[in-house]
């Protein structure tokens, strides 16, 4: 089946961490748009201990008329990753059009250690949160770039979050996301002469299987995920409170496939190089390209003043505020300066 939002027919894509969540949603959309989609994760077959598997994702892609190739891969193992890219190179005659770096191994550890300061966590905690999710993104980007530079075309997308601009869960999470954003910005400089784009994509409040389970659990400390800390002040504190409250109050507003629609439009945008090196938001891209989520609804844009007022309880003021008024990016840059 061809997506009505853009065709990726003949394109070769790789989505890492696609057994469930955002990665699965992206794979579904890319496959529906006509791409040959390689997907990776550590869980190949369905089992009792995992909520999703590569085979299940591939079956859903193919039910929509797409072509999906599941590859078991541990992105903490460089040899696994090299074999993955060698396989793509051999099977697709050296072609790779889109890489989506989504694999992340530390989310359970993060939610199990909320409110634990970094100096009370073992150094290995850093490896759990920043190996698969930061280093793995870099390794995959190196191998993908070798193929894309040779073809003088391609798109690399790092899946990131608002944790890239300030403290959200814990220190290692924010450091990792900030580095993921910086990776896109700096690698884009060196890739630009070869017509290869690199962006960092921020989804909004996504209703993934794991996040839904965590938010609605009664684990100690979970409420702090959505509560603004007292030591946050000014515009930055206000902005972070919008993001945190949005994860619960607006959890059902963005499907895991919404990011996939964003990537389809990025991959088919003839002017994609203008966005290379930037952070792009799923909601902003939906406004720019003119598409909605799979349910036909437009998820909230957390840069929208109307949304922010609503999330903070100012419903009457939100009702009279135009939805097109958004927080300018330069304000976010000022809020996060380190000088």
pLDDT tens for 72-116 read: 999 999 999 999 999 999 999 999 999 999 999 888 888 888 889
φ, ψ for residue 2, nearest 5 deg: -95, 130
DSSP 42-89: S--S--TT-S--HHHHHHHHHHTT-EEEEEE--TT-HHHHHHHHHHHH
Residue with token string 């496959």? 31
Instruction: Look at residue 310 and tell me whether its pLDDT is greater than 60.
Output: yes
Catalytic option among 38, 173, 194, 291: 173
Structure tokens at 118: 């970094």
Q: Which residue has the higher pLDDT, 151 or 237?
A: 151
Rg (C-alpha) for the chain, rounded Å, is: 19
Give pLDDT tens digits for 266-277: 999 999 999 999
pLDDT at 319: 83
Task: Check whether 207 has a pLDDT greater than 80.
Answer: no
* Stretch 317-329: mean pLDDT: 80
Question: pTM of the predicted model, to two decimals?
Answer: 0.88
User: Residue 138 is encoded by which pair of tokens?
Assistant: 């870099």
Q: How far apart are CA 126 and CA 256, in angstroms?
A: 26
Q: Taking residues 39-46, what's their average pLDDT?
A: 94
Residue 221 token pair: 């400390």
Q: Give yes or no for residue 247 having a pLDDT over 60.
A: no
Question: Which residues, other chains included, contact 16 with Cβ-Cβ below 8 Å and sequence gap of 6+?
Answer: 23, 39, 40, 41, 73, 75, 99, 100, 101, 102, 103, 136, 140
Residues in Cβ contact with 288 at an 8 Å cutoff, skipping those fewer than 6 apart:
none
State the average pLDDT for the chain: 85
Domain 12-223+255-301 has CATH 3.30.2400.10: no
Residue 247 has which token pair?
């994860």
Residue 236 designated active-site: no
Whether 315 has a pLDDT exceeding 70, the answer reads: yes
Which helix (H) or strand (E) covers residue 135, if one does?
A: none
Q: What is the pLDDT of residue 330?
A: 77
Closest CA to 118 of 176, 179, 69: 176
Give me the pLDDT at residue 165, please: 84
In this predicted structure, the answer to whether residue 120 has a pLDDT above a threshold of 90 is yes
Q: Walk across the sheet containing 154-159 and list its strands.
A: 67-72, 36-41, 12-15, 98-101, 154-159, 196-202, 279-281
pLDDT at 222 over 50: no
Backbone angles phi, psi at 202, to 5 degrees: -105, 105
Q: What is the pLDDT of residue 245?
A: 52
Retrieve residue 338's tokens. 């380190």
Question: Do 81 and 40 meet the contact criterion of CB atoms below 8 Å apart?
Answer: no
- For the cut 50, the answer to whether the pLDDT of residue 40 exceeds it is yes
How confident is the model over 299-304, as a mean pLDDT?
Answer: 79
Map tokens 């008329």 to a residue. Answer: 65
Q: What is the pLDDT of residues 122-161, one digit of tens each?
A: 999 999 899 999 999 999 999 999 999 999 999 999 999 9
* Three-class DSSP category at 36: strand
First to last CA, the chain: 51
């Amino acid at each position: 089946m061809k997506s009505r939002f853009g065709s990726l027919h003949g394109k070769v894509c790789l989505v890492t961490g696609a057994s469930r969540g955002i990665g699965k949603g992206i794979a579904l959309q890319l496959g529906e748009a006509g791409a040959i989609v390689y997907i990776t994760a550590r869980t190949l077959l369905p089992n009792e201990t995992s909520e999703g598997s590569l085979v299940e994702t591939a079956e859903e892609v193919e039910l929509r008329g797409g072509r999906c190739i599941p590859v078991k891969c541990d992105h903490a193992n460089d040899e696994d990753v090299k074999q993955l890219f060698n396989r793509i190179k051999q099977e697709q005659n050296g072609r790779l059009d889109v890489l989506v770096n989504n694999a992340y191994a530390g989310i359970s550890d993060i939610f199990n250690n909320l409110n634990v300061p970094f100096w009370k966590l073992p150094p290995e905690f850093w490896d759990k949160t920043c190996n698969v999710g930061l280093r793995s993104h870099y390794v995959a980007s190196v191998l993908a770039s070798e193929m894309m530079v040779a073809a003088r075309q391609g798109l690399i997308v790092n899946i990131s979050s608002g944790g890239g601009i300030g403290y959200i869960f814990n220190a290692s999470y924010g450091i990792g996301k900030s580095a993921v954003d910086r990776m896109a910005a700096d690698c884009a400089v060196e890739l630009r002469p070869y017509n290869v784009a690199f962006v960092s994509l921020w989804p909004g409040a996504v209703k993934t299987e794991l996040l839904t389970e965590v938010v609605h659990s009664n684990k100690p400390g979970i409420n702090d995920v959505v509560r603004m800390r007292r030591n946050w002040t000014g515009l930055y504190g206000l902005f972070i409170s919008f993001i945190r409250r949005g994860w619960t109050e607006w959890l059902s507003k963005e499907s895991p496939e919404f990011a996939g629609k964003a990537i389809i439009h990025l991959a088919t945008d003839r002017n994609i190089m203008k966005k290379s090196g930037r952070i792009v938001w799923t909601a902003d891209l939906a406004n720019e390209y003119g598409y909605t989520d799979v349910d036909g609804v437009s998820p909230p844009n957390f840069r929208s003043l109307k949304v922010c007022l609503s999330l903070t309880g100012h419903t009457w003021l939100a009702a009279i505020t135009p939805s097109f008024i958004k927080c300018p990016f330069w304000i976010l840059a000022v809020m996060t300066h380190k000088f």
